[in-house]
Structure 1
Amino acid sequence: MELGPGPPLQAPLGGPCPEMLQVAEEAFRGGQYALAAEILGSQLAELPQPDRGLCLRQGDALARAGRIAEALESYSAAARLARLRPEELRGLAESFALLIRDKELRLPDWQGPGPQGDPLDEDPACCRPLELFGCPLCRRLLCDPVSLHCGHTHCKRCAQAGECARCCRHRPASVPSASSASPRVNVVLGNLLEKWFPRESRARRLRTEGDALRERQDPAAALEKYNQALETSCKCSLIAQRAELCTTMKNYQQALHDAEALCRNKPLWPKGHYVKAQALSGLGRTEEALKEFLFCVALNPEWSSMKIEAQKIMCEMFFPAFENVHDSLTPPFSSRTSYTRLKPEFLNSINTQPTAEGGSAAGSSKNLCSKRCINPSVLPPQNDHFGQGVYPGLGQDGPDSCLLECLLFMTSVFNFSDGEAICENSAKSALKAMPGSLVDASDFECSLCMRLFYEPVTTPCGHTFCLKCLERCLDHNPHCPLCKEKLSEFLASRTYKKTVLTEELIVRYLPEELSERTKVYEEEMKELSNLNKDVPIFVCTMAFPTIPCPLHVFEPRYRLMIRRCMETGTKQFGMCLSDELKGFADYGCMLEIRDVKFFPDGRSVVDTVGVCRFRVLSHGQRDGYNTANIEYLEDKKVEGAEYEELVRLHDSVYDQAVSWFTLLKDNMKEQILNHFGSMPGKDPDNPSGPAWYWWLLAVLPLENRAQLAILAMTSLKDRLIAIRRVLIFVTRKRTR
């Protein structure tokens, strides 16, 4: 445990050498506390009157050097000049805690920083659930699990009180919810907890009810709930909570009984010593309370609130209000013992015997810290982690052996003997391993597809479905498929997050079933990704290669079709004209999705562009929308003289098209440009033919059937001739 330096020294006017004080300060910062104390002592000895600041600094140095008795003298000298404040005893409190940690607990040096949060919120390992089943906020077994919109699951009370503690700090108030203001329990997870941990779940629910009653200032009813919970499943953390409640109700004896049981069975759990300190304080057993507060600091040196409590008690117990005897002090003032002002209760707790010279240590305060002033035979032995009896500080050579006797009163009654375990074995084992017989794949079955959940999503009303299944249902109706709860807000968000806990449980406990389910899904995606067989067909209007084709999608079947095109990654589907006999025409154009914008009611605007032409080989259907087996169309290749003739024809028709467009009225030009964009140049080309040609075919005033006939042609020469005839016709018609 690393202790920070105190306030910097300042030499009083006409006082000691500033250079020596600086050396002492550097030694203190460097951890050479004994050297710092020696320098400060030499400087104090030269003063005609003691300096309070130097006395305090010397006390800090001595305390951190482990020379507690001498440190108490320095603090006492400072107290004679002006009453000590609790904050001035931080070094002493930390030093006591360090000695307890080192010599009593035999714990390694504190590495720090400690875990985030209040140590009072940390339950012992035996009371913690498996990681998957713990609430990320309260870190206890989930009670009435609620799945938030971000996908993480919390206890219902935690979800109402705070924000998501795991990923996104998503506040429940901003989550789309059902009509009820209270979040709904996840039905699947709630049933699993009741099935897998029946006793633990009941105890957890009773505890939650007790917490609610306690918040409503009904401690008697809360205590009854805690007692019922302990009858169901005995937990250290629950006993500690009952002890806290008893302290609040001023039933300190019952609180102490619970706290002692906790400290006996969980000696390294800080909260057990905290509730014991609270109970002892209520009973007026101040010295014992101080010991427990110091024990808390020893276990967690960063627990500042416990340091403050210890400092307050030490300030009153070791250094009560002194008379102002500043004028009567004469050098060397450091020889006066601090223990002349200790409270009688503390002095009486230390058993003394005649010193080696035959004097009585009890009769003289100066002899209180002489060699062997405490009789070890009357002190209860301490036990370390291995059950060995030890007497810290006694029987050791050197000055520190006797100085620890002041601390021994507070550390002599720790008992680490093995007692009857508080947590029942059945309760511990229930949360440490999952019996395979309890795991049933039917508990994770989607009620829509009757298969294992794949990408499970929980609605605000608490029901869970496969993501794809839920989306298909919401395409048709914005209500929950099971309870018919209105899900308009949930649908409007369009951000369905997978329920993380449900998915993790499936991964851990049903790996084989998940593997089969994943295989089925991947086969479906592979089948949907085939752009030659069972290609989705949007039956609507004419589409052409390279030409934008914005679509307004509102029918449920096409919502599903567009979503699947995005999920497979192909982002392509066919566009065909309607046909009364066959359902759709035998020729069409493949479209590629560039962007999709969703509306709150499920409708969407899909931005697409033409890619290539195709011919339908056979017609079909899938889940309500049309499909087709297709082959792609390519223009016939020409060479030599035919190619030169084709180039001349191409340039001639292009010039004719430019002339036609130039002579159009301004308002017609603006409409065409806004919808189709500018006319492409004649140089760019693509496998389906010049881009300008398809642009022109799209903007010319032709019937769809005529456009379809030209789209189906595989000869560029034939298409150019056909478009030239159309241009001649529309030009003559305009001149009339």
Structure 2
Amino acid sequence: MPMKMQQELVTESYLNVPSSGSLLCQRAELHMEMRNFSQAVQDANSLCRLKPLWTKAHCLKATALSKADRNDEALQEYFLCLALNPDWTKVKLEAQKVLSEVFSSVFENEDMSTPLHPLQGGFANRLIKPPALLQTLRPLTQKPGCSSQDSEFSVAKSTPVGGSSSELCPMSPAKSDQVAGEGSSKSLTEVLASLPAPHGGLKRKHSSDGASSPFNPPSKLSRPDDVNTVQTASGREGRVVPAHLLDSGDLECSLCMRLFYEPVATPCGHTFCLRCLERCLDHNPNCPLCKENLSEYLATRGYNKTFLMEEVLQRYLGDELAERKKIHEEEMKELSNLNQEVPIFVCTTAFPTIPCPLHVFEPRYRLMIRRCMETGTKQFGMCIADELKGFADYGCMLQVRDVKFFPDGRSVVDTIGVSRFKVLSHGQRDGYNTCKIEYLEDRKVEGEELAEVLKLHDSVYEQANNWFRSLKDNMKNQILSHFGHLPSKDPDPQASPEGPAWCWWLLAVLPLENRAQLTILAMNSLKDRLIAIRRVLIFVTRKRPR
């Protein structure tokens, strides 16, 4: 009888007796013979709900999932079968085959000829997904009814600390039991001492008889002449190994090629310096090594330090880590010098005391804003563009008041103008513009000149107030929502080195081109600035439509 006819007869019988598990099982097997794997998975899933403790149902579902190339789910079902029947040899072999396929899919993009250390972004770290999958099955694989034959499918034994599976890094039975049995109560030194040596990751020396010496990490980094002793959890004393066998090159960031500083691990299992990873994510939301998408990781900004890596660095490479920290602090000190190397945001004209919200999306400016926050200065310069020099010779320093990050890495930066400056020399750093500056201050006057300035100040302020009140309501509302109200008149116009705040508010509001605004911004004479503002007010008042 053709299989399709058999399927129709079984389906008709199942509809008459929906509680019959044997009919449902028979139909699922027919679906698999006809290579309708998705329908076979549906029937097997219904069968598992109908008979949750029937091992054959879970085995059938696992087989269908495996045929449908859903190996992660198939592996879970095979472990459920083994939890219900630990002595089922056929299921063990099938589970082992699927497990090998899961691990091989992890390494398909790796260069197998390059030896890597388990603590770097190599084979061990790439196994973060399968252990995460097996972790969900720990309660089932550790039931009291499981026999010793099932131990090869145990989570603790198949994925020892360090990341490699028992197939990829074979151990002796005694060492495997020791690693699995000691659990999380072991100290870091004991765990590292019990691990198998990586394939070429750490450098080894050979003794005179040609035998390869096993690697036992020292308790601290010392001079090559010193030796240290490591004890395992059982109290046995490890072999004495020279401390210089631990090479700092094995714990280098693959992006900056320096020792890890503030190491963080990505969801795909690779480790980088925090700031190196942030700079890469500015340009592309994918892992720099395996290219796995990290958009969700970027959106949550959950850059948590890897404590194991930090402890390894502090314990075994303390001197190198101290030197790495010193270099980082020197870089931060250099970046925080707001006279010698000021970061420049090339955009529009900013003015002292005036808010200037910015939408930051370019990678170079993401880096610049982040460094301003990390150094603690929270300041950068704003200049308009210049075709010949890149940016103008005058600008305004901005103070960051708040930063709001978006899931894709963009940000809105709330800033306010602080002080004016003159550019002495132009430069660049890591893609964004920098410059050496000197700050500008208004030249103070006395006597008759001061009296003239005060009179001019009061006159121009009154003229500006009248102009603002004469605007239409919709224009006034737009100005008020963005810049606020016109600041009050200063009793002493020379009190601030930047001059009266209302002058800058008016320059930001008036319909002037950037070059005209820049000319007034560069003035260090309050009298000259007031005369220029008065001319602009006269011009806009005459040209205003009636």
TM-score w.r.t. the length of structure 1 is: 0.45
Find 1:597's aligned residue among 400, 404, 420: 404
Distance in structure 1 (CA, Å) of the matches to 2:537 and 2:244 = 78
Shift of 1:504: 1.6
2:178 matches 1:232? no
CA contact (8 A) 1:210 1:222 kept: no
CA contact (8 A) 2:344 2:435 kept: yes
Q: Quick one: which amino acid aligns to residue 678 of structure 1? A: H
Distance in structure 2 (CA, Å) of the matches to 1:430 and 1:678 = 77
Find 2:484's aligned residue among 669, 672, 677: 677
Secondary structure in 1 aligned to 2:384?
strand
2:367 matches 1:439? no
Residues 444 and 550 (structure 1 numbering): CA distance in 2 closer, same or farther, change over 3 Å? same
**Equivalent residue pairs, number:** 362
Q: Quick one: which amino acid aligns to residue 343 of structure 2? A: P
Distance in structure 1 (CA, Å) of the matches to 2:146 and 2:242 = 39
Distance in structure 2 (CA, Å) of the matches to 1:588 and 1:240 = 64
* CA deviation vs aligned residue, 1:308-328 (integer Å, no higher than 9, x gap): xxxxxxxxxxxxxxxxxxxxx
Residues 732 and 596 (structure 1 numbering): CA distance in 2 closer, same or farther, change over 3 Å? same
2:294 matches 1:487? yes
Q: Quick one: which amino acid aligns to residue 232 of structure 1? A: A
Q: Quick one: which amino acid aligns to residue 482 of structure 1? A: L
Shift of 1:498: 1.1
* CA deviation vs aligned residue, 1:186-241 (integer Å, no higher than 9, x gap): x988458x99xxxxxxxxxxxx9999754495415136789998843397897899
Residues 544 and 439 (structure 1 numbering): CA distance in 2 closer, same or farther, change over 3 Å? same
Residue matched to 1:498: 305
Residues 498 and 587 (structure 1 numbering): CA distance in 2 closer, same or farther, change over 3 Å? same
Distance in structure 2 (CA, Å) of the matches to 1:721 and 1:237 = 82
Distance in structure 2 (CA, Å) of the matches to 1:643 and 1:453 = 60
Distance in structure 2 (CA, Å) of the matches to 1:574 and 1:239 = 59
Distance in structure 2 (CA, Å) of the matches to 1:693 and 1:427 = 78
2:527 matches 1:731? no
2:545 matches 1:617? no
Distance in structure 2 (CA, Å) of the matches to 1:616 and 1:625 = 15
Distance in structure 1 (CA, Å) of the matches to 2:337 and 2:276 = 22
Distance in structure 2 (CA, Å) of the matches to 1:636 and 1:666 = 38
Q: Quick one: which amino acid aligns to residue 557 of structure 1? A: R
2:271 matches 1:464? yes
2:445 matches 1:638? yes
1:222-371 equivalences under 5 Å are 222=150, 231-233=173-175
Residue matched to 1:221: 149
Higher relative contact order (CA 8 A, sep 6+): 1
1:413-424 equivalences under 5 Å are none
Shift of 1:443: 1.9
CA contact (8 A) 1:612 1:632 kept: yes
Once structures 1 and 2 are overlaid, which stretch shifts more, 211-220 or 608-617?
211-220
Distance in structure 1 (CA, Å) of the matches to 2:349 and 2:182 = 75
* CA deviation vs aligned residue, 1:621-674 (integer Å, no higher than 9, x gap): 000000111111111110111111111110111111101101110000000001
2:454 matches 1:647? yes
2:503 matches 1:693? yes
TM-score w.r.t. the length of structure 2 is: 0.60
Residue matched to 1:127: none
CA contact (8 A) 1:230 1:238 kept: no
Secondary structure in 1 aligned to 2:471?
coil
**Which runs of 5 or more structure 1 residues have no equivalent in the other structure?**
1-156, 158-179, 196-207, 242-423
CA contact (8 A) 2:380 2:399 kept: yes
Find 1:704's aligned residue among 514, 533, 539: 514
Residues 222 and 702 (structure 1 numbering): CA distance in 2 closer, same or farther, change over 3 Å? same
Shift of 1:489: 0.4
CA contact (8 A) 1:535 1:628 kept: yes
Find 1:511's aligned residue among 318, 322, 342: 318
* CA deviation vs aligned residue, 1:275-303 (integer Å, no higher than 9, x gap): xxxxxxxxxxxxxxxxxxxxxxxxxxxxx
Residue matched to 1:282: none
Identity %: 68
1:29-40 equivalences under 5 Å are none
Once structures 1 and 2 are overlaid, which stretch shifts more, 438-447 or 560-569?
438-447
Residue matched to 1:722: 532
Distance in structure 2 (CA, Å) of the matches to 1:731 and 1:475 = 47
Shift of 1:735: 6.2
CA contact (8 A) 1:213 1:219 kept: no
Distance in structure 2 (CA, Å) of the matches to 1:705 and 1:694 = 15
Residue matched to 1:556: 363
Distance in structure 2 (CA, Å) of the matches to 1:477 and 1:597 = 20
Residues 692 and 189 (structure 1 numbering): CA distance in 2 closer, same or farther, change over 3 Å? farther
CA contact (8 A) 1:210 1:221 kept: no
Distance in structure 2 (CA, Å) of the matches to 1:722 and 1:240 = 80
1:140-219 equivalences under 5 Å are 190-191=118-119, 213-215=141-143, 218-219=146-147
**What is the aligned-residue RMSD (CA, Å)?**
3.6
* CA deviation vs aligned residue, 1:400-427 (integer Å, no higher than 9, x gap): xxxxxxxxxxxxxxxxxxxxxxxx9896
Residues 595 and 210 (structure 1 numbering): CA distance in 2 closer, same or farther, change over 3 Å? closer
Q: Quick one: which amino acid aligns to residue 633 of structure 1? A: L
CA contact (8 A) 1:188 1:463 kept: no
Secondary structure in 1 aligned to 2:544?
helix
